[in-house]
Structure 1
């Protein structure tokens, strides 16, 4: 079974480009930890990227909410990392998932210590193209940048190279 747990930044990023359902097209089971769900759905920010879409996907059963069982580990690491990041990692271990979808560098490093394979928003878009789910990555990257999503020039160029697209 191909399972994945997802953090908030990739949910927001994929929602910005209209590709949130790409996760369920690439993975058999998509789990959203409770802390991540709460962060997105109850966020008071002026832009509510992902809020309505996430609520709908969870209510339809496309994405599944997950409550971490070993919350003591989350509590012990909280402060160094956000609750959502920790629940993604601990949840993945509890569910037997191999992959976590997250963008934050420190959290990705921690996930590797737990023997998980992190993939970010950009990696999901590239994987989507390689699997024939999307046709072009560049316009999606441009939309992310236009909407304030941080993406270094180096990562932008590397993503286009991996997606076999030109600047």
Structure 2
């Protein structure tokens, strides 16, 4: 298909439902910016969703670690956005690709200003079903909700509709 750069929330969400490798099934290249990697691997949260999977996927070169070259642009926008979000967007532009995997509304809006197409965690799951990589979206969405992943009910219903599943 194409290559994408991914932010932390989709890595965590897909890890929760055991579908982190779905990204490498759907895209030719999956890039993880350094700031995103550091946030997930070195974060000291009580739950370490994605930590071991991400380390393994990077070590096995299934996912590629990316070091953003335009540090000054990251630094100039930092504060309005997190470093990981900025590195996803700027890194994707540097790579010459057109899609980012991120969930945060403001960062998705910024990515569109950079002429990138944002895909969220839910969008990746729907794409996975449409490409026959996963059988059902609903149990995965329910698992996300059970694990504290925030999801508007409207988005939940819309996702099931797009996946051609009933609520």
TM-score norm. by structure 2 comes to 0.99
1:56 equivalent in structure 2? 56
1:38 equivalent in structure 2? 38
- Number of paired residues? 167
Distance 2:137 2:6 in 1: 20
Structure 1 residues 20-99: aligned runs within 5 Å: 20-99=20-99
Distance 1:94 1:2 in 2: 15
Deviation, 1:116, is 0.1
Deviation, 1:24, is 0.2
Unaligned runs of 5+ in 1: none
1:102 equivalent in structure 2? 102
Structure 1 ranges of 4+ moved more than 6 A:
none
Unaligned runs of 5+ in 2: none
Q: Write out per-residue CA displacement over residues 81-107 of structure 1, whole angstroms, 9 at most, x where no aligned residue.
A: 000000000000000111000000000
TM-score norm. by structure 1 comes to 0.99
Distance 2:129 2:149 in 1: 20
State the Cα RMSD in Å. 0.6
1:150 equivalent in structure 2? 150
Q: Write out per-residue CA displacement over residues 107-145 of structure 1, whole angstroms, 9 at most, x where no aligned residue.
A: 000000000000000000000000000000000000000
Distance 1:121 1:108 in 2: 12
